[in-house]
């Protein structure tokens, strides 16, 4: 017989997130045989395609670094962020059946999906490092701690947007459609296949309105020896993290009961 002992809310939160995490691992990857494959290889295909394109157009435009490594850091970071935002948006709907247990809160499903994307991205990164070493590419990092800080911050930024989107998309179907439309061209305007410095000043100004550009530039600037973080505006990044986080938490708190009971 299993006895019901009183647990603190933190203990409940931890056991729920663990249970949800294991469930997501099984349903996302277990049921579809190619699930694991796609999780890791979509970034790899992008690197291959754009590295190929680049070498076809011009042989050397970023002196002092290996361009495939540049692309790899970009796409790993971009897919991590994009998947966190898009997976969070549908987390409530996908776990609705499990809200029958009062321990499971909608918020937990978002945290779970962020952790899951982090795991997928970590595995992909390890594979990329393996390939880089095998091919003899220069994968050395200029400032490891700052790169890690940038990645963690990027995850928090994704979580904040994801939470906010999840709440709005749950009540307004149209909202999810708009977000998807906005996300589509983002890959091309986030300094992923090029550096901000390589752009003409007019374009530079425009592209720096995109907060994601700053995150990618921060990672590049601290990863590669020849690059700098001169265009990174930390204050701007902080606004883009804290404001969605506040809006997300505020509206989540207000609508948690409606999400649970609808």
Partner 1 sequence: MIELHNVTKYYKTANEKKYILDNVTITIPSDVNVGILGRNGAGKSTLLRMLGGIDFPNSGIISSPNSFSWPMGLAGGFQGSMSGRQNVKFVCRIYGKSDYEIEEAIESVREFAEIGDYFDMPIKTYSSGMKSRLSFGLSLVFDFDYLIIDETLSVGDKNFQEKSKKALRKKIENCNVLLVSHSMPVLKELCDVGIVVHKGQMHYCNNIEDAIATYNKINK
Q: Residues interacting with partner 1, by CB under 8 A?
A: 1-4, 7, 11-12, 15-16, 18-19, 22-23, 26-27, 31, 95, 97-104, 257, 260-261
CA 163, CA 75: separation in Å to the nearest integer?
23
> What's the min distance (Å) between Cβ of 187 and partner 1?
30
Q: What is the 3-state secondary structure (H, E, C) of 110-157?
A: HHHHHHHHHHHHHHHHHHHHHHHHHCCCCCCCCCHHHHHHHHHHHHHH
Residue closest to 124 by CA, chosen among 51, 73, 191, 162: 73
Classify residue 160 as exposed, middle or buried by CB count within 10 Å of its CB (0-12, 13-18, 19+): buried
> Are the C-beta atoms of 37 and 199 separated by less than 8 Å?
no
Q: At closest approach, how far in Å is the CB of 85 from partner 1?
A: 23
- Residue the block writes with tokens 């009540």: 171
CB of 99 to partner 1, least distance (A): 6
Q: Residue 117 CB, nearest distance to partner 1 (Å)?
A: 19
Residue 20 or 46 having the CB closest to partner 1? 20
Of 128 and 252, which CB lies nearer to partner 1 in the complex structure?
Answer: 252
Q: Which is nearer to partner 1, 2 or 56 (CB)?
A: 2
Our CB check for partner 1 shows the closer of 12 and 187 to be 12
Q: Smallest Cα–Cα separation from 86: which of 210, 182, 205?
A: 182
In whole angstroms, the minimum distance from the beta carbon of 10 to partner 1 comes to 11
Between residues 15 and 140, which has the closer beta carbon with respect to partner 1?
Answer: 15
């Amino acid at each position: 017989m299993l006895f019901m002992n009183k647990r603190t809310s933190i203990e409940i939160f931890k056991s729920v997130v663990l249970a949800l995490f294991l469930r997501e691992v099984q349903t996302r990857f277990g049921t579809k045989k190619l699930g694991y494959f796609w999780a890791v290889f979509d970034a790899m295909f992008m690197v291959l395609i754009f590295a190929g394109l680049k070498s076809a157009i011009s042989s050397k435009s970023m002196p002092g670094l290996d361009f495939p490594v540049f692309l790899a850091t970009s796409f790993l970071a971009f897919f991590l962020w994009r998947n966190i935002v898009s997976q969070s948006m549908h987390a409530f709907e996908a776990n609705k059946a499990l809200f029958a247990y009062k321990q499971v809160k909608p918020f937990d499903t978002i945290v779970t999906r962020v952790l899951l994307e982090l795991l997928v991205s970590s595995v992909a990164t390890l594979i990329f490092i393996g390939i880089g070493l095998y091919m003899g590419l220069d994968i050395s990092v200029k400032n490891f701690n700052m790169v890690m800080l940038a990645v963690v911050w990027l995850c928090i930024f994704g979580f904040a947007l994801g939470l906010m989107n999840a709440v709005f998309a749950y009540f307004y179907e149209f909202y999810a459609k708009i977000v998807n439309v906005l996300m589509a061209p983002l890959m091309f305007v986030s300094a992923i296949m090029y550096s901000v410095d390589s752009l003409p000043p007019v374009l530079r100004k425009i592209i720096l309105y995109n907060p994601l550009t700053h995150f990618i530039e921060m990672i590049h600037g601290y990863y590669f020896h020849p690059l700098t973080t001169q265009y990174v505006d930390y204050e701007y990044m902080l606004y883009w993290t804290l404001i969605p986080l506040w809006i997300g938490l505020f509206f989540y708190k207000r609508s948690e009961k409606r999400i649970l009971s609808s």
